[in-house]
Amino acid sequence: MNSGNNMRQIRIAKVTVNMGIGPEPNEMKVGQKIIEKITNSKAVQTKCRVRQPKWGIRPGLPIGLKVTLRKARAEEFLKMALAAKGNALNKKCFDNQGNFGFGIHEYIDLPGVKYDPALGVKGFDVLVTLERPGFRIKRRKVQGKKVGKNHVIAKSEAIQFIQKKFGVVFQ
């Protein structure tokens, strides 16, 4: 990590909290209460894109929930989620662009969250997107471009960043 060059600094772009529920509307309401309780943000429904007759789902049917957190709220939630995992991750959680994700089996594993018998016990996934300054060029509408291969975050750089910033131990 080049600490002298500001354009090489890695930062957390967003943290997405995802919960797969299924087609049951009652479970969707319970999941929405859980995800809003742990993130203090409004949840958005995710819809199915493919048909799976065995599972009884079809395109357009709501099957999950997600919340996207950015800036300080993302960092704060990530600290809580990593504490729930015992500040330990596997290197297999990272992809080749430096993004990573992990699952939490029960929402009550988060520090400071108490069990609610009306909600039951559900798990969720935490997906973290890392970026450097200048990554906006791939999202902009006018003259969108690819990020140069020297500027893309490597898996090893992302692991180093997470170790340094959050004190995560790798297995």
Domain boundaries, given as residue ranges, for the chain: 6-170
Q: Cα–Cα distances in Å, from 105 out to 51, 102, 111?
A: 27, 10, 14
pLDDT value for 86:
93
Closest CA to 57 of 66, 47, 67: 47
Please give the CATH topology (third level) of the domain spanning 6-170: 50s Ribosomal Protein L5; Chain: A, (3.30.1440)
* Secondary structure of 47-84 as H, E, C letters: ECCCCECCCCECCCCEEEEEEEECHHHHHHHHHHHHHH
pLDDT value for 58:
87
pLDDT value for 124:
95
Indicate the Cα dihedral angle 124, 10, 143, 69, nearest 10°. Answer: 30
Closest CA to 32 of 84, 67, 61, 56: 67
Provide block-wise average pLDDT over 10 residues at a time, the chain (171 residues): 80 96 89 94 93 86 94 96 94 94 94 90 95 93 93 95 94 81
* Interatomic CA distance for residues 78 and 116, integer angstroms: 22
pLDDT value for 3:
63
Indicate the Cα dihedral angle 64, 86, 129, 4, nearest 10°. Answer: 170
Q: What backbone torsions phi and psi does residue 55 show, to the nearest 5 degrees?
A: -95, -5
